[in-house]
């Protein structure tokens, strides 16, 4: 065995986190949360176009949020790989409560006091919504289960939603939520690759990769400028 061969690192495990394609509410900048909004024609095209790139990872499995915009995206990959999509409600978007279906301007106008607290209080619960910490907990759990299900050198694909996936990356890596602002929102049908380093553990190997950057709506969890809280979530 040559020295080069003996020093070759074993294949690494990977998790690929894929955001769903575009919806009409994405275009209108409405908080979707867990509303079951379908893909629009551009979103369907994005999923079909991006699926071959995801198939090139030769995934061992495909897990998806049970909201149709996610699993309709996932099934494009399933059609190419022959895999069955496993639906997991833990991959859903933030439950945004009374914000669901509203733009930020509409939310501010209809609930000014809640809007102010949303941007000023850490881990604030909008009426009817999940706490950010609750989303972190379920996302860390599902990513942890997916990692545990992977054999050495294999890849798993998880299809979900922009805000929850971004929070999930930090929660899975054990990073504090305040670091969210260091990551741009994920574009429609973009993906993030987490890869296990043999000595350093799980790392972000790629972020917000995409095939159709010109067709994405506003990035998940973009929000008006504010100067107090770092934890607000829009739910896309």
Tell me the catalytic residues: 20, 93
Alpha helices, DSSP H, located in the chain: 3-6, 24-27, 41-55, 68-81, 104-110, 112-120, 132-148, 162-173
At 188, is the secondary structure helix, strand, or coil?
coil
177 Cβ neighbours under 8 A, 6+ residues apart: 132, 133, 136, 167, 170, 171, 230, 231
- Per-residue DSSP letters for 34-102? T--PPB-HHHHHHHHHHHHHHHTT--SEEEE-SSHHHHHHHHHHHHHH-PPEEE-GGGSPP-BGGGTT-
> Longest Cα pair distance anywhere in the chain, in angstroms?
70
């Amino acid at each position: 065995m040559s020295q080069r061969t003996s020093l070759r690192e074993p294949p690494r495990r990977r998790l690929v986190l894929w955001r769903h394609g575009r919806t009409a509410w994405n275009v209108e900048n409405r908080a979707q949360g867990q509303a079951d909004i379908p893909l629009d024609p551009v979103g369907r095209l994005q999923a079909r176009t991006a699926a071959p790139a995801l198939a090139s990872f030769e995934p061992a499995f495909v897990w998806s949020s049970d909201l149709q915009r996610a699993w309709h995206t996932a099934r494009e990959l399933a059609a190419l790989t022959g895999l069955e999509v496993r639906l997991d409600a833990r991959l859903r978007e933030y439950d945004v409560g009374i914000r669901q279906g509203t733009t930020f301007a509409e939310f501010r106008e209809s609930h000014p006091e809640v809007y102010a607290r949303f941007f000023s209080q850490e881990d604030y619960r909008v009426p009817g919504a999940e706490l950010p910490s609750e989303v972190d907990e379920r996302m860390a759990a599902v990513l942890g289960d997916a990692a545990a299900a992977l054999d050495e050198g294999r890849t798993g694909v998880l299809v979900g939603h922009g805000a929850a996936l971004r929070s999930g990356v930090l929660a899975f890596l054990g990073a504090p939520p305040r670091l969210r602002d260091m990551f741009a929102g994920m574009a429609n049908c973009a993906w993030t690759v987490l890869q296990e380093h043999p000595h350093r553990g799980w790392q972000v190997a790629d972020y917000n990769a995409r095939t159709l950057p010109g067709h994405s709506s506003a990035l998940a969890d973009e929000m008006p400028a504010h100067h107090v809280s770092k934890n607000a979530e829009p739910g896309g």
